[in-house]
Structure 1
Amino acid sequence: MSGALSGKTALVTGGGRGIGRAISERLGRDGARVAVHYGRDERAAKETVAAIEAAGGHAFAVRAELGVPGDAETLWAAFDEQAEGVDILVNNAGTNKAVDGTLQRIGEVTTEDFDHLFAVNTKAPFFIVQQGLGRLRDGGRIINVSTGLTRGAAKPELIAYAMTKGAVDVFTSTLAKDLGPRGITVNAVAPGAVDTEMNAGWLRGEANTEARQRVGAISPLGRVADPTDVGDVVAFLASDDSRWVTGQWIDATGGALL
């Protein structure tokens, strides 16, 4: 498939579901060969690979659980088995939940919860980038997925999660300065609430109609975001059209912070 990213290789962490799947499929449609990373959901990753290939693109799955010792090494070893070098690295994988799967305010967060969130959302991207620099070609792209929670949309039940993404924001701007001489741009995309499987429990179905209307009303555009709304922003940052944009925090909340 020819397109703006023809001849490029992309790695999308958490690329099999939700926003990650939308990113993977869009990059695939733009011509990139996409490494769809997953931690546990092999079925979703393979479905995403199949969808990209059915649309005429090229993709392969890469497994590595993040947030555990040796995660970056495992990821790159799996990647190296199927590709040589990378042009676009999207740090999308993340979690906003504690170890027990709940959202927690400060009084409920344990040290285990705190360490888990930072291990997946902050430490993993840091070392994935660190160990990927030798594989990342000059003129490449690094795109980190942040959140609108770091710029004014504070939610007490997501305090530790927001802190992990605040660190990612600093990582983004500092890394942009460090890698600029190589022509590598580094940017962060910050979504708000998005209609994904992760949010299905409170955002989908008749029982959640009121919540969906309330969330949609936060945006001047009057609706809840679809994963493709974020994926298309990432595609711009992955393309040559964004060559003069680096170190930026891109608001992809649909104007929810206005």
Structure 2
Amino acid sequence: MSGRGTLDGKTALVTGASRGIGRGIAVRLAEEGARVAVHYGTNEAAARETVAAIEAAGGTAFAVGQELGVPGDAAALWAAYDRLSGGAGLDILVNNAGIGISSPFEQMPEAEYDALFAVNVKAPFHLVREGLDRLHDGGRIINVSSGLARTAVEPTLIAYAMTKGALDVFTRDLSKLLGPRGITVNSVAPGIIDTDHTAPRIRASDEAWQQAASVAALGRVGRPDDVADVVAFLASDAARWITGGWLDATGGSLL
């Protein structure tokens, strides 16, 4: 891939990288020279499309499958990663995988609440905890949060927003724990991003699209690369003095 090579020689694991924001992040890190482990939960075909796109552009990647939010998920994912990476260790972990929507507060079943927290909070916690011996000193952990963690613009998504708030606390406290090893930990918070996940809502009509665009101060709907560029910056040495941070990648939706 033709990039600046700011991540040459680095290895990255991006969870939920088969499509959407995760795919954008995986491709962007590969553009900078990283070897990327493309994690997927169930959609192996989509993950292999991400890998193929990276390889077609001259990058290096491999797919790692493991459903998250189930008992033993972190240990199983790391076992698969170790096997496929050849025991390469890890420089960059991007916790992107998550359930991106929730039922309204009044209708929330207990099982859905538990699944949200299992995937969005518990899985990243244990992936980091069980992966610390693989993460190199001076490494990067980047957690994909949400603008909804800081605003009640969509209060019907309260449970989803709660998971992202918990993830941000994880980011803050983990940055203190891992600081002595030179490992930075940051959250990136997207706003409305045009993906196959959001398409049924924001592409339902011209009016829906314009409404989504009007939320951002910059006057358009976000793209996966808008978020991926921020992640690539945090993964680089240029962001070596940033840790415990919460970076607003909403295009000015929270002003």
Report the TM-score when normalising by structure 1.
Answer: 0.95
Residue in structure 1 matched with residue 60 of structure 2 by the alignment: 58
Q: Select between 53-62 and 2-11 the one with higher mean Cα deviation.
A: 2-11
Residue in structure 2 matched with residue 242 of structure 1 by the alignment: 239
**Cα offsets for 1:21-74 (capped at 9, x unmatched):** 000000001000000000001111000001101111100000000000111011
Shift of 1:91: 0.1
The CA distance in 1 between the partners of 2:61 and 2:228, in whole Å, is 16
Residue in structure 2 matched with residue 220 of structure 1 by the alignment: 217
The CA distance in 2 between the partners of 1:219 and 1:200, in whole Å, is 17
**Cα offsets for 1:166-188 (capped at 9, x unmatched):** 00000000000000000000000
Q: Select between 149-158 and 40-49 the one with higher mean Cα deviation.
A: 149-158
Residue in structure 1 matched with residue 180 of structure 2 by the alignment: 181
1:89 matched to 2:86? The reply is no
**Cα offsets for 1:107-152 (capped at 9, x unmatched):** 1111101100000000000000000100000000000000000111
Runs ≥4 residues deviating over 2 A: none
Residue in structure 2 matched with residue 190 of structure 1 by the alignment: 189
Residue in structure 1 matched with residue 128 of structure 2 by the alignment: 129
The CA distance in 1 between the partners of 2:20 and 2:231, in whole Å, is 14
The CA distance in 1 between the partners of 2:6 and 2:20, in whole Å, is 23
Output the amino acid matched with 2:233.
F
Output the amino acid matched with 1:245.
I
Question: Aligned to 1:229, which of 221, 226, 229?
Answer: 226
Output the amino acid matched with 2:47.
A
Does the Cα contact within 8 Å between 1:153 and 1:257 map onto a contact in 2? no
Residue in structure 1 matched with residue 12 of structure 2 by the alignment: 10
Does the Cα contact within 8 Å between 1:39 and 1:64 map onto a contact in 2? yes
The CA distance in 2 between the partners of 1:160 and 1:220, in whole Å, is 26
Shift of 1:96: 2.6
The CA distance in 2 between the partners of 1:130 and 1:208, in whole Å, is 44
Residue in structure 1 matched with residue 167 of structure 2 by the alignment: 168
Shift of 1:218: 1.4
Output the amino acid matched with 2:89.
G
The CA distance in 1 between the partners of 2:250 and 2:209, in whole Å, is 15
Shift of 1:156: 2.4
TM alignment of 1:44-55, pairs within 5 A: 44-55=46-57
Output the amino acid matched with 1:17.
R
Output the amino acid matched with 2:216.
S
Q: Percent identity?
A: 65
Shift of 1:157: 2.0
Q: Name stretches of at least 5 consecutive residues in structure 2 with no aligned partner.
A: none
Shift of 1:154: 3.4
Provide the aligned length of Structure 1 versus Structure 2. Answer: 251
Question: Aligned to 1:72, which of 71, 74, 79?
Answer: 74
> Secondary structure of 1:82's match?
helix
The CA distance in 2 between the partners of 1:195 and 1:40, in whole Å, is 21
Shift of 1:256: 0.5
The CA distance in 2 between the partners of 1:209 and 1:247, in whole Å, is 39
1:209 matched to 2:195? The reply is no
1:29 matched to 2:31? The reply is yes
Q: Name stretches of at least 5 consecutive residues in structure 1 with no aligned partner.
A: 98-102
> Secondary structure of 1:171's match?
helix
Shift of 1:202: 1.0
Does the Cα contact within 8 Å between 1:96 and 1:158 map onto a contact in 2? no
